[in-house]
Amino acid sequence: MGINLFRANAIEAKRNNVTNELVNLAAMAQQYYLKPRALGGGARSFVGWSIPEELKLTANGNYRIETIGQDSVVIIGTGNEVVTGNDSVKVKISVGATSFKTIVIN
């Protein structure tokens, strides 16, 4: 029982870490969206934004853009903590101009 509880806590901690990193990426994407093109931004578009190379793979997991468009970007974070079998912690974040929504996939 103790081992299962420890494992559940470790998985939840990893999921929280991945979610926190996704929220940071969402903030970066929103900054890009709001910044004028003359200053290196998207001028009210997410098109052209990308995850910085040094943040694509971290100690918590890896991150990739699933979809990107004028008004939104969806980023997937896959943790390096295996939940069941071969399935890892996975969280999705949908980012809009002024808000975001996280969805736990696994």
pLDDT tens readout for residues 43-65 = 999 999 999 999 999 999 999 99
Tally of domains in the chain: 1
Confidence of residue 4 (pLDDT cuts 50, 70, 90): confident
CA dist 42 and 35 (Å) reads 6
Cα angle 77-62-35, degrees, rounded to a multiple of 5: 70
Please give the residue range of the domain that contains residue 8.
2-104
Residue 45 has what DSSP assignment? Answer: -
